[in-house]
Amino acid sequence: MKPYSLAVKAVILDESGKCLLLRRSAASRNFRGCWEWPGGKVDQGEDFASALVREVREEAGLEIEITGLAGVTLFELPEVKVVLLCMEARTAGAEVRLSSEHDAWEWAPLAELSRRQMPRVIRPFVLAYARRKIRR
């Protein structure tokens, strides 16, 4: 039976309601060229909130504060089923510093997420979140 794994992503929103997107570089194992919220796997022995703060620090050089729940989705990779937990967050930091995993970043309006290339497995979830958030 395929095991389950937990991953976390941060929807870092600025004061104008834009969210931070990172573009996966050629150095990434999969989903190259796709845009995504920063985040990653929860390591063994790590709680999800610490994992999220760590991943955002590693991938974007930003310190975040988690502010709420964005949502959850499930997708399958060849080896594992991934529960992707997305949390809303804010940052006082201004300067994004990327790791080798990404080669571009952007503060994107939620209404424009549908124009960005994204992994097929999470695209419907991301766009549904953006629609709900814009309506509020």
Given the rule CB under 8 A, which residues bind a second copy? 1, 3-6, 42, 44-45, 47-49, 65-66, 68-69, 71-74, 83, 85, 87
Minimum distance from CB of 64 to a second copy (Å)? 12
Minimal CA–CA distance to 90: which of 6, 8, 7, 17? 17
Minimum distance from CB of 130 to a second copy (Å)? 17
Tokens 């300067």, residue located: 95
C-alpha span between 31 and 34 (Å, rounded):
6
Nearer to a second copy, 65 or 112 (CB): 65
* Partners of 13 in beta bridges: 19
Nearer to a second copy, 1 or 94 (CB): 1
Give the containing element (helix H, strand E) for 55: helix 48-60
Minimum distance from CB of 74 to a second copy (Å)? 4
Nearer to a second copy, 32 or 131 (CB): 131
C-alpha span between 99 and 97 (Å, rounded):
7
How crowded is residue 67: how many other Cβ atoms within 10 Å of its Cβ?
A: 14
Minimum distance from CB of 128 to a second copy (Å)? 13
Alpha-carbon Rg for the chain, nearest whole angstrom, is 14
Nearer to a second copy, 2 or 97 (CB): 2
Nearer to a second copy, 47 or 112 (CB): 47
Minimum distance from CB of 73 to a second copy (Å)? 7
